[in-house]
Structure 1
Amino acid sequence: MKPMRIFLIGGTGFIGRAIAERLLADGYTLRLCVRDPARQPALAGVEYVKGDFNIQITDEANESAWRDQLAGCDAVINAVGIIRESKDATFERLHYEGPLALFRAARSLKIRRLIQISALGADEHAETKYHLSKRKADEALRKLIPSAVILRPSLVIGPGGKSTKLLALLATLPLLPLPGGGRFLLQPLRIEDLAAGVSSLIAKWPSRGVTVDVAGPEVVTMAQMLQSFRRNAGFAAAYLIGIPMSWMRAVARWGTGIVNEETLQMLERGNTGDARPFERLTGLTMRSALALPAGTLYEAALSVIRPMLRYSIAFVWIWTAIVTAFLYEPAISMSWLKQSGVPDGLLVLFLYGSCLFDLVLGLMLFSRYRRISYGFQLAAVAFYTLVIAFRIPELLLHPLGPISKNIPLLVLTAVGWLFDGDDSSDRLRPER
């Protein structure tokens, strides 16, 4: 029997990628809609087509283009979603206008198996632009394709998720600064369970269209969830620091970083639902999402430690170059060079040449050549330390430890060289 072909848009995102991997593992073939098919890796069972909700919106020409791309597919999954708007990506366009053209095309081809990945909170109580745009698309889909399934996931936890990375980073902190003391209710969901549920629905399509929440088995506060992450990874409990909501609202008005009025409003509303209807539909038993692998927490911590380590080491080299060249008495520096064995005629050249060398090593840490810089730094620090220890031994006993401080610098540089690669581990996997 020929495997079912599924059209998936949003397959390069966190949720869509997990769904795609599960469907392929279960023997389905995929037609993935991506912005640039030429950049995608060749994968068995995957066909790429070009499409973009930002461009293909609600008009007859775009609906015709969607029909061409959907031809021959047995099911459609829309996993496109953004949590923040930008000038080039708005909720209205990506959550409603683009999907509407896709839904109309699917209806014209009489495709009755369509899964819309919506959001928990996109209901009659929706207030934010994010939830309202999702609800608008959901309502349109119910009218166009009554057999469609609309899934409203809660907070989804899993490898590669931006929210998971942020939560893991928070969980590594011994002091947890949380809005309102972290009292907001959440019902986290494992990404593997969501993907497995989608695959199960494709195989055993319900007799009529449904809208169901998808959530994990536990309702917890944000503080409880983060403490659970720590406990399950072997960390001691953290101390909570409650940030007054009045402060958070003041910051949210500026819309800086991940904190804006919409995200704060969604946080205050909570993110909980009834997991039982989804379990009955799919035959799954939702598993706890309150444990992250210890490696996830360590990697989250390293994502901050790596740049901090790099910038601090870079500062040492750059500041040393500036101080030696412009702020410190040249005669003293040249007297040390002379004691180290540098001939009188080369003192100036060695002094300012070493300043340039130090400056270059520091600046290289901000470039793609930073691993090379770490190697040169280790060699340079070891060389400077040995020469000074033998030629100017009195500095070994200096109370400020100008030479002994090279020992931790060597260790930190070696750690940087070991862990601070090309940041490939921080990038998302190639689009699929």
Structure 2
Amino acid sequence: MQGLVTVFGGTGFVGSQVVRALAKAGHRVRVAVRQPNLAYRMRMLGDVGQIEVFQANVRNPASVARALDGAEACVNLVGVLWESGRQKFQSVHVMAAQTVAQAAAKAGVKQLVHVSALGAKADSESKYFRTKAEGEQAVRAAFPGATIVRPSLVFGVDDKFFNKFAQIAALSPIMPVVGAETRIQPVFVGDVAAAIAKTVASPAAVGVTYELGGPAIFTMREIMQLVLTETGRNRPLVALPSPIAGLLGSLGDLQGSIIPWAPPLTTDQVEMLKTDNVADGGLPGLAELGVAGTAVEAVVPSYLYRYRKGGQYAETPAGAF
């Protein structure tokens, strides 16, 4: 069995797949989480004794240091999609990232993989993307050899993207579209996990930034049409003007500040959807890591069937993949 890898954010949608991929590759894995009692299932992702659940909070430097004790590598996946309570973009994407990188350097960790986001730019109008860029800078300042991984929108069985819009398609008489002509390059969660696991074991990945996008590019309008087709819903696509999208985003901001549930839309997400989210080809990606990108059409139908009338017993809609 290979050396110990500490994973921060290992219980999330992407993180759990990363833990599984690392275990499959033969690593011992320490999953650092705030509430270990809620992460008991993580141990089932590997062999007996291979995965350890460890209490740590990225806002607490002492606990981060303890979580890195004896680790040869570290993966930081901690991030938030909307702000709520103490979970702010600045504190999670920048300050926590810096804390992990500084602790990893001090502990003598050989390989640090920091998961950022495709679209991370210091001058972005989106606070999410802007703080992701600031986080990258903080990580590189503390740990110059860090590997930066920037995935595009990640999809898979438990994603909060296709599932969210499938729910809307099932309940709403119309299909609202924000940023109808904005292009995105969805990437499969299993491919992201495999890529991260490969960077952990690759000396060639030290100091490299990777952009992970899937094999196809879609507009938001095309994505919404795909959702309607796969769920068997006949809904008119309605492109929302920026003022209306902004108003809905403001309501989502309010919900997110009061209730710890994912809001349907936030003002920051409206800003994100104003800009294309695709790899520019100037940086290495899945292919350079030996990972063949999985098509949206090969995976999404396997879980969107739940939103059809009749669920798993419904007939496959005409035109579905």
Provide the C-alpha distance between the structure 1 equivalents of 2:173 and 2:53, rounded to a whole number of angstroms.
Answer: 45
Deviations 1:365-414 (A, max 9, x none): xxxxxxxxxxxxxxxxxxxxxxxxxxxxxxxxxxxxxxxxxxxxxxxxxx
Shift of 1:66: 2.5
Provide the C-alpha distance between the structure 1 equivalents of 2:26 and 2:244, rounded to a whole number of angstroms.
Answer: 51
Correspondence for 1:403: none
Correspondence for 1:212: 210
- How does 1:112-191 map onto structure 2 within 5 Å? 112-170=110-168, 175-179=174-178, 182-191=180-189
Shift of 1:21: 1.4
Q: 5+ residue gaps in structure 1?
A: 57-61, 307-432
Shift of 1:293: 4.3
SS in 2 for 1:47: strand
Is contact 1:227–1:238 with CA below 8 Å preserved after alignment? Answer: no
Shift of 1:154: 0.8
Correspondence for 1:51: 56
Q: Is 1:271 the counterpart of 2:277 in the alignment?
A: yes
Shift of 1:234: 7.9
Provide the C-alpha distance between the structure 2 equivalents of 1:297 and 1:174, rounded to a whole number of angstroms.
Answer: 18
Deviations 1:136-175 (A, max 9, x none): 1110111222221111111100011222311333455784
Provide the C-alpha distance between the structure 2 equivalents of 1:293 and 1:250, rounded to a whole number of angstroms.
Answer: 30
Q: Is 1:281 the counterpart of 2:288 in the alignment?
A: yes
Is contact 2:122–2:130 with CA below 8 Å preserved after alignment? Answer: no
Specify which structure has the higher proportion of helix. Answer: 1
1:266 maps to a residue whose letter is M
Is contact 2:209–2:284 with CA below 8 Å preserved after alignment? Answer: no
Count of residues in correspondence between the two structures: 294
Correspondence for 2:258: none
Shift of 1:280: 4.3
Correspondence for 1:84: 82
2:148 maps to a residue whose letter is I
Provide the C-alpha distance between the structure 2 equivalents of 1:197 and 1:91, rounded to a whole number of angstroms.
Answer: 25
Give the aligned CA root-mean-square deviation in angstroms: 2.6
2:32 maps to a residue whose letter is C
Task: Work out the percentage of aligned pairs sharing the same amino acid.
Answer: 26
Provide the C-alpha distance between the structure 2 equivalents of 1:157 and 1:18, rounded to a whole number of angstroms.
Answer: 12
2:245 maps to a residue whose letter is M
Q: Is 1:13 the counterpart of 2:19 in the alignment?
A: no
SS in 1 for 2:273: helix
Deviations 1:44-82 (A, max 9, x none): 2111211112x41xxxxx2x4433321211110011111
Provide the C-alpha distance between the structure 2 equivalents of 1:70 and 1:264, rounded to a whole number of angstroms.
Answer: 37
Provide the C-alpha distance between the structure 2 equivalents of 1:163 and 1:76, rounded to a whole number of angstroms.
Answer: 27
Q: Tell which deviates more after alignment, 237-246 or 213-222.
A: 237-246
1:289 maps to a residue whose letter is V
Is contact 2:29–2:52 with CA below 8 Å preserved after alignment? Answer: yes
SS in 1 for 2:26: coil
Shift of 1:218: 1.4
Provide the C-alpha distance between the structure 1 equivalents of 2:133 and 2:217, rounded to a whole number of angstroms.
Answer: 23
Q: Structure 1 pair 35/301, CA: closer, same or farther in 2 (3 Å)? A: farther
Q: Structure 1 pair 186/92, CA: closer, same or farther in 2 (3 Å)? A: same
Q: Structure 1 pair 291/264, CA: closer, same or farther in 2 (3 Å)? A: farther
Greater radius of gyration (CA): 1
Deviations 1:268-291 (A, max 9, x none): 113111467113431122222245
- How does 1:11-410 map onto structure 2 within 5 Å? 11-41=10-40, 42-43=43-44, 44=48, 45-53=50-58, 55-56=59-60, 62=61, 64-170=62-168, 175-179=174-178, 182-206=180-204, 208-231=206-229, 233=230, 235=232, 239-254=236-251, 255-256=253-254, 257-274=263-280, 277-300=284-307
Is contact 2:182–2:274 with CA below 8 Å preserved after alignment? Answer: yes
Q: 5+ residue gaps in structure 2?
A: 255-262, 312-321
Q: Scaled by the length of structure 1, what TM-score is found?
A: 0.62
